[in-house]
Amino acid sequence: MTTVPAPEAASIVIPVEPRQPTRRRYLMCPPTYFTVEYSINPWMDPDRPVDTDLAVRQWTALKETYERLGHTVELIDPEPGLPDMVFAANSGTVIDGRVLGARFRAPQRTPEAELFRRWFLARGYRDVVMPGSINEAEGDFAWTGRVLLAGTGFRTDPGAHAEAQEVLGVPVISLRLVDPRYYHLDTALFVLTEAGPADSAQIAYYPDAFSLGSQRVLRRLFPDAVIATEADAACLGLNGVSDGLDVVLPWEATDLATQLKERGYLPVHVDISELRKSGGGPKCCTLEIRPASPEFTAVVAFQRTVRSSG
């Protein structure tokens, strides 16, 4: 009797759905006056030398990376005496063409908010609202396509979350940060793919930056999230920018890059080592301008017509 060996079990390969990038519009500010002359987060040490020219070169490489990927980059002029103005993400949240400005906790950064408000008004934005609560904009707000994830704990007040919901007209999910190294939401979490009509959003985050309750919320909302390691978080690897395919992140975030490749994303590495001396990375330098959709524009036009005729 001849025994026929059983065939080896075939390895199961789960196909990755091809990802598609979406072209984005960003607002950035050159780090012409960048330095570290005060400390408002654990990354900042005024006694540590800063090379402003190197910061400019790194920022320029980041801007050119966005442009090479097909994105539009607009600029706001830097202002002497405002070394952190390069971190444009902290100065506004724009969804469907509506702008919710910023109100900074640190007095050193307070003047930045007015400069960004003027920039939007000068370019024809009609719905520009300045917050009443401390609100550090996309530093603590992350739009998923369906809900706005909102951080608190160190900078943005919880009251700013309700204000954002009223001004922007989107549902808001509050998340509490507990590790001072990750003082803004955008240092511990970013959106990889926004939700579509039939697809859920996907995010990457570092669980230990959040309270236990917020960790449970994130697991419930995003069961397929990419979970970053401590090393990824420690180099501000989660301060990344994704267009749904290409993910711009610090070159040191190697474990995160490997996970992203396995999920079908294309990591694009940049060097932000000098800007990191102030606690910033790619996302900190990048305010996303999300224009109004045609449907939203039609609704707003109708509402204005009704008000003017009433």
Q: Report the distance separating Cα 245 and Cα 61, nearest Å.
A: 19
Mean pLDDT by 10 residues, the chain (310 residues): 46 62 98 98 98 98 98 98 98 98 98 98 97 98 98 98 98 98 98 95 98 98 98 98 98 98 98 98 98 59 49
CA angle 29, 130, 276 (to 5 degrees): 35
Catalytic residue among 71, 184, 235, 285: 184
pLDDT attached to residue 310: 53
Q: Phi first, then psi: give them for residue 57, nearest 5 degrees.
A: -65, -40
Q: What pLDDT score does 297 carry? A: 46
**3-class secondary structure, 180:** helix
* CATH node for 25-309: 3.75.10.10
The closest of 203, 253, 250 to 231, measured between CA atoms, is 253
At residue 14, the pLDDT reads 43
**For residue 294, what pLDDT is reported?**
53
Q: Is 284 an active-site residue?
A: yes
pLDDT at 6: 47
pLDDT value of residue 293? 72
Q: Is 190 exposed, middle or buried (0-12, 13-18, 19+ CB in 10 A)?
A: buried
Q: Is 235 a catalytic residue?
A: no
pLDDT of residue 16: 58
**Annotated catalytic residue: which of 29, 71, 161, 284?**
284
What is the residue extent of each domain of the chain? 25-309
Continuous H helices in 203-289: 212-221, 230-234, 254-262
